[in-house]
Amino acid sequence: MLAVRSPQDIAQSLFGSAHVPALTPDHRWPTLEISGDCVFLDARQARSETQGRDAPLARLGQDWWVFASSGTGDAWLLSLDGQQRVAFLDHDQGPDAAPQAMALSFAQWLQMADLMRQWEQLDDDTLSALMPALLDQINPGFSSLYPYSI
């Protein structure tokens, strides 16, 4: 069954530590595909993605850095202002792409990525109807911001 797990439980199962630190561009966690649209990047890949994307409106490296990507070229961003705010960058917008605020912290992003992993593994389309309410458990209203179709 689908369930929103605690960020600590997710970090323990993914990275071997229940501590969910403030994520910085020089973090030491490995690259890991959590779900199809949530591939967490190690520091080297994150730096390469941040520097290599052509999205001047996103102010990558100044206001945001890429900490995760999707399998389709989209990016998950984390703010560099110390607030740990997550945004989404849609690669289909090309150079005009701007960060779309997701109203999530990094810990909540882990919860979302883990929930999507559970849903993908169950491979049961009847569970799609449950997803908006589960996303809203992570943060009320998040289901309306989630960038992909469920």
* Model confidence pLDDT, tens digit, residues 48-62: 999 999 999 999 999
Nearest C-alpha neighbor of 85 from the set 17, 5, 22: 22
In a domain, 147, yes or no: no
Residue 22 has pLDDT above 90, yes or no: no
At residue 118, the pLDDT reads: 97
User: Could you list the residue range(s) of the whole structural domain that residue 123 is in?
Assistant: 7-141
How many CA atoms within 13 Å lie on the side-chain side of 127?
15
At residue 108, the pLDDT reads: 98
Number of domains making up the chain: 1
At residue 71, the pLDDT reads: 85
What is the token pair recorded at 42? 């190690």
Residue 150 has pLDDT above 90, yes or no: no
Distance (Å, whole) CA 126 – CA 134: 14
In a domain, 115, yes or no: yes
The percent of residues in the chain predicted with pLDDT above 70, rounded, is: 100
In a domain, 106, yes or no: yes
At residue 88, the pLDDT reads: 99
Which DSSP state fits 90? -
Distance (Å, whole) CA 24 – CA 56: 21
Residue 21 has pLDDT above 90, yes or no: no
In a domain, 15, yes or no: yes
pLDDT in tens, 60-82: 999 999 999 998 999 999 999 99
At residue 124, the pLDDT reads: 86
